[in-house]
């Protein structure tokens, strides 16, 4: 980690009084014109906010115990990483569990304000720029060198999360969380070309995508062309973000020509019955938008499911395999904009932030470093691919016979034989005690083609894709709801709800701007030396 060259100011955590109304509660909607809510600021003595506010760290100090605040049991879910943290760094972890969403941010804000801050929290979409606007985190520039061998691979993405000139968040990993999943066996049966070949030939464009959807839905009234996530991922293929945070600007691109063109294209496809389930299909039980990947392809009616391939691909394949249905599950990236030679694609990031006032910054940095070290370790990378492609048989660890009656040293409390490492490595397929055949475990085996594409969409070296992160869901829940939920969502309504994008923009653009103006004002005040410490937002003008 980088060394500090000068003493740095003490964290301003005690001043943070975060009720986080911006993450929870009603900040007003559409036509509300009520009075502004209070936003507390403090003037930083003898320094501006743009100076470092992170305390120096002694690299030789012990890692110690770190406390993290989470809404799920990461001690169990990340047990392997926790064990490495203990063995390599001598660190220990205490966990505080809270609810997700609004409750998570409210709890974090309360802990910071009362001087009881945790040491580490996981990045959420509303961490940037929402929570950063209210100085909830410690800047990492003094600790992490983005030009180092360890971190240079995420520098380009990290630059998309700079707030007021500082890196409060440096992801240890990124990957696409959206791709077009499909059963190629069904395409073959219907004489439809495999989009994977189009990806290889660089002909996988909006038009090619639309042509496949039209061929599919014209074949059968039960056919559905596309379900899954809404407009944002398509918009990113133009190379334009819906909301972009750059330097001292928060840019609203909802009226940008690229976005208008993309959303109009999606709107027209919806009108032509190519996106989502129509009324008759929904009446017969078909889903419109989100579909459980374990059910999505079982009836053979859906062409593409736009969701995270890292779990949709195996979940869909397992469901088809267990149903005895012929399948060749694949996924491809979202199509390239016909007007662009560059293959832009949406990306998601994973990582941790250090809250303001964290008592054990050294331990938190060690945890962050460990995750990046493991992510970039060549042996880990090779093993992950080998495991994904491994088609060898695996078995359950115990004998399948409830009446096994094993009397050896390796049995459970019911007398079932527990197979030893030596027996597993030898490929033993029957119980040595009772002779019962071992029960095979189901395993999804990736193809090398799919795995390599997935790695490209994770930003692997030589990737064909320019990866972008859109900040449109990084503000208050009120802003996110305007885009994605409610009766008239800006980005999803034209895709799944027969809505006019032009009409939606006319009715909602000023509302979005009202919310964003609050964040723009906070950004300016932070840059001017004020430290905004309350997340109570001003309600937007009508």
Q: Which domains does the chain have, with CATH numbers?
A: 13-170+352-382+521-532 (3.40.190.10), 179-346 (3.40.190.10), 394-442 (no CATH)
Weakest-pLDDT range from 243-257, 338-352, 459-473 = 459-473
Q: Is the CB of residue 93 less than 8 Å from the CB of residue 122?
A: no
**351-357: average pLDDT:** 95
- pLDDT-derived band at 1 (thresholds 50, 70, 90) equals very low
- pLDDT-derived band at 12 (thresholds 50, 70, 90) equals very low
pLDDT over 50 at 542, yes or no: no
pLDDT over 60 at 62, yes or no: yes
pLDDT one-digit tens code per residue, 104-144? 888 998 999 889 999 999 999 999 999 999 999 999 999 99
**248-268: average pLDDT:** 97
Predicted local distance difference test score (pLDDT) of residue 21: 32
pLDDT one-digit tens code per residue, 27-52? 222 233 233 333 333 333 322 223 33
Q: What is each CA distance from 477 to 86, 127, 153, 320, in whole angstroms?
A: 37, 12, 31, 37
Q: Which residue has the tokens 């736009």?
A: 306
Q: Is the CB of residue 289 less than 8 Å from the CB of residue 230?
A: yes
Predicted local distance difference test score (pLDDT) of residue 462: 85
pLDDT over 50 at 537, yes or no: no
Q: What is each CA distance from 530 to 46, 49, 234, 396, 536, in whole angstroms?
A: 12, 7, 38, 60, 16
Predicted local distance difference test score (pLDDT) of residue 108: 92
**420-436: average pLDDT:** 94
**184-192: average pLDDT:** 95
Sorted by sequence, the CB contacts under 8 Å of residue 491 that are 6+ apart come out as 230, 231, 232, 235, 242, 263, 472, 483, 484
Sorted by sequence, the CB contacts under 8 Å of residue 541 that are 6+ apart come out as 33, 510, 514
Predicted local distance difference test score (pLDDT) of residue 530: 84
Using left for φ > 0, alpha for ψ between -120 and 50, and beta otherwise, residue 273 falls in: left
- pLDDT-derived band at 227 (thresholds 50, 70, 90) equals very high
pLDDT one-digit tens code per residue, 305-349? 999 999 999 999 999 999 999 999 999 999 999 999 999 999 999
- pLDDT-derived band at 533 (thresholds 50, 70, 90) equals confident
Name the 3-class secondary structure at 88: helix
Predicted local distance difference test score (pLDDT) of residue 534: 55
**461-467: average pLDDT:** 90
Name the 3-class secondary structure at 172: coil
Encoded tokens for 37:
């809510």
Predicted local distance difference test score (pLDDT) of residue 273: 96
Q: How many CA atoms lie within 13 A of 134 on its CB side?
A: 32
Q: Could you tell me whether strands 224-228 and 302-307 are parallel, antiparallel, or unpaired per DSSP bridges?
A: parallel
Q: What is each CA distance from 442 to 311, 319, 392, 400, in whole angstroms?
A: 15, 11, 11, 15
Encoded tokens for 74:
């990461």
pLDDT over 50 at 200, yes or no: yes
Mean pLDDT for the chain overall: 87
Q: Give the global pTM.
A: 0.85
Predicted local distance difference test score (pLDDT) of residue 54: 61
Q: What is each CA distance from 431 to 56, 254, 395, 428, 455, in whole angstroms?
A: 59, 64, 11, 8, 39
DSSP secondary-structure letter at 328?
Answer: -
- pLDDT-derived band at 223 (thresholds 50, 70, 90) equals very high
């Amino acid at each position: 980690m980088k060394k500090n060259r000068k003493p740095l100011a003490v964290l301003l955590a005690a001043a943070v009084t975060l009720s986080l109304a911006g993450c929870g509660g009603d900040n007003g909607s559409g036509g509300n014109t009520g009075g502004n809510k209070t936003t507390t600021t403090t003037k930083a003595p003898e320094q501006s906010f743009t100076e470092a506010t992170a305390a120096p760290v002694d690299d030789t100090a012990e890692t110690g115990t770190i406390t993290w605040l989470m809404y799920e049991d990461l001690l169990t879910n990340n047990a392997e990483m926790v064990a490495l943290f203990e063995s390599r760094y001598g660190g220990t972890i205490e966990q505080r569990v809270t609810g997700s969403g609004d409750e998570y941010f409210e709890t974090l804000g309360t802990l910071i304000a009362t001087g009881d801050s945790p040491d580490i929290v996981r990045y959420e979409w509303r961490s940037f720029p929402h929570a950063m606007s209210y100085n909830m985190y410690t800047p990492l520039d003094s600790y992490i060198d983005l030009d180092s061998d360890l971190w240079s691979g995420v520098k380009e993405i990290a630059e998309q999360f700079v707030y007021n000139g500082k890196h409060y968040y440096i992801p240890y990993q990124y990957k696409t969380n959206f791709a077009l999943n499909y059963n190629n066996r069904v395409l073959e049966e219907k004489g439809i070309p495999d989009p994977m070949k189009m990806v290889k030939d660089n002909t996988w464009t909006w038009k090619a995508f639309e042509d496949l959807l039209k061929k599919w839905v014209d074949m059968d009234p039960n056919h559905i062309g596309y379900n899954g996530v809404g407009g944002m991922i398509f918009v990113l293929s133009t190379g334009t973000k819906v909301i972009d945070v750059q330097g001292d600007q928060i840019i609203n691109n909802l009226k940008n020509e690229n976005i208008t063109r993309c959303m109009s294209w999606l709107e027209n496809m919806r009108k032509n019955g190519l996106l989502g389930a129509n009324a008759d299909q929904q009446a017969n039980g078909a889903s419109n938008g989100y579909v459980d990947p374990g059910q999505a392809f079982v009836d053979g009616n859906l062409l593409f499911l736009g969701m995270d391939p890292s779990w949709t691909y195996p979940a869909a394949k397992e469901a088809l395999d267990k149903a005895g249905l012929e399948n060749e599950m694949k996924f491809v990236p979202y199509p390239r904009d016909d007007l662009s030679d560059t293959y832009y694609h949406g990306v998601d990031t994973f990582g941790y932030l250090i809250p303001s006032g964290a008592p054990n910054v050294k331990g938190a940095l060690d945890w962050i470093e460990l995750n990046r070290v493991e992510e970039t370790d060549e042996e880990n990378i090779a093993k992950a691919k080998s495991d994904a492609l491994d088609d060898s048989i695996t078995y359950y660890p115990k004998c399948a016979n409830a009446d096994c009656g094993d009397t050896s040293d390796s049995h459970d409390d019911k007398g079932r034989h527990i197979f030893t490492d030596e027996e597993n490595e030898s490929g033993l397929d029957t119980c040595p005690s009772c002779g019962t055949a071992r029960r095979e475990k189901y395993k999804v085996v990736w193809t090398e083609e799919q795995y390599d594409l997935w790695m490209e969409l994770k930003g692997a070296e030589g990737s064909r894709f320019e990866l972008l992160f859109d900040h449109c869901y990084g503000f208050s829940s009120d802003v996110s709801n305007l885009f994605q939920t409610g009766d008239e969502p800006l980005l999803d309504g034209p895709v799944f709800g027969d809505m006019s994008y032009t009409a939606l923009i006319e009715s909602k653009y000023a509302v979005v701007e009202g919310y964003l103006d609050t964040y723009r004002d906070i950004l300016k005040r932070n840059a001017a030396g004020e430290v905004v410490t309350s997340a109570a937002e001003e309600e937007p003008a009508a």
